[in-house]
Structure 1
Amino acid sequence: MDHTFLTVRPATITDLGSLVELRAHLLDGTSASYSSRTPDDAMRWRAAYRAWLTSRLSESDCVQILAAEHRESGQVLGCATAIIDQRAPATGCLNGLSGWVQSVVVEPQWRNRGIARQLMQHLLRWFANRGVGTVVLQSTEEAGALYQALGFTVSGERLLIRQEAQA
């Protein structure tokens, strides 16, 4: 597939608005457990996400936020986030470094053109360069085939979530 129209790069503070709007495709109006249920929910996660991005875009070696930018227009077409956690060592993860991928999102009109694959390949190289051998993600049904093609397997483990109501 021709990817000459695309540049994958670290996101910057000037991408803040685009990153929030891209993530809204995941967090607003879906049936996922993490989706906002009301306009107030949406407003709160957006403000919290903006603050989180602002603090992570410039200083964190344990967080990588990528933007996929159209070379001609400069439009941010997609994004992806990688986070490194320090966990207790386990088989397959003796150094305790565990990667988490989240918010892999591509603008709907640009999907199925290899953008998410490119974002993921960059994140997987970033993890590998930091000694992270185990990477985990939660996927939508639509994206499952992409992740499996990149070497991810369904774990068979149950993902349990406990969320406390926040004031």
Structure 2
Amino acid sequence: MSDAFYIVRSATTADVAMLIELRAFLLDGTDASYSSRTPERQARWRAAYRGWLTNHLGANDNVQVLAVEHRDSGQVIGCATGIIDARAPTAANPNGLSGWVQSVVVAPQWRAQGIARQLMRQLLRWFDNREVATVVLQTTPDASRLYATLGFQTSTECLLVRQVRPS
């Protein structure tokens, strides 16, 4: 997919450093429970994410990491990750395939220009092409309206999280 000033493409290992910097907008110093609030924790998730990206980019059919590249500068200005998880089948999801959307991020100076929407449309097509009927994501209040326009609804299920903090 492309627009006048950017293209959405699969991320490559050459994008890893910028993918980490973009994800930092979500993971460093926010009020979220998963936020890293110390330099040590920031360094830890960054190193782990670098390894994860290196192992998954182009090597796993169940992971799609998208990058948004500015046409003129070649700079990566946005990203999104889709992951397909095989779960036990249900009546609503007979093949058990569930999609998970993570880290939809656009650099602050490029926000509110339709980039996140294009990322999501491309990820949703990727899920559709793999017969993934259920797609889940966690959102911020600022992004929830975008996801609602793409068909996402607040779940009526009670989601509980057990998260062991790394030492």
TM-score range, shorter chain: over 0.9
Q: Which amino acid aligns with 2:150?
A: L
Identity %: 64
Aligned to 1:4: 4
Aligned ranges 1:83-122 → 2 under 5 Å: 83-122=83-122
Q: What are the Cα deviations for residues 80-102 of structure 1, in whole angstroms up to 9, with x where unaligned?
A: 00000000011221000000000
Match for residue 157 of structure 2?
A: 157
Cα distance in 1, alignment partners of residues 61 and 145 from structure 2: 29
Match of 2:25 in 1: 25
Q: CA RMSD in A?
A: 1.1
- CA distance, structure 2, for counterparts of residue 92 and residue 157 of structure 1: 14
SS at match of 2:88: coil
Q: Deviations over 1:70-120 (max 9, x none)?
A: 111101110000000000011221000000000000000100000000000
| Letter paired with 1:136 | V
Paired residues in the alignment total: 166
The answer to whether residue 148 in structure 2 is matched with residue 148 in structure 1 is yes
Between the aligned partners of 1:156 and 1:21, the Cα distance in structure 2 is 34
Cα displacement string for residues 28-54 of structure 1 (whole angstroms, at most 9, x for unaligned residues)? 010001000211110000000000000
Say which SS state the counterpart of residue 148 (structure 2) adopts: helix
Gaps spanning 5+ residues in structure 1: where?
none
Matched ranges for 1:45-56 at <5 A? 45-56=45-56
TM-score (norm 1): 0.97
Gaps of 5+ in 2: none
**Residues 70-85 of structure 1 aligned to structure 2 (within 5 Å):** 70-85=70-85
Give the Cα separation in 2 of the matches to 1:31 and 1:150. 26
The answer for the alignment partner of 1:136 in structure 2 is: 136
Query: Could you state the TM-score of these two structures normalised by the residue count of structure 2?
Result: 0.97
* Equivalence for 2:13: 13
The amino acid across from 2:114 in the alignment is G
Rounded Cα–Cα distance in structure 1 between residues aligned with 2:136 and 2:165: 26
- In 2: Cα distance, 1:25 partner to 1:77 partner: 12
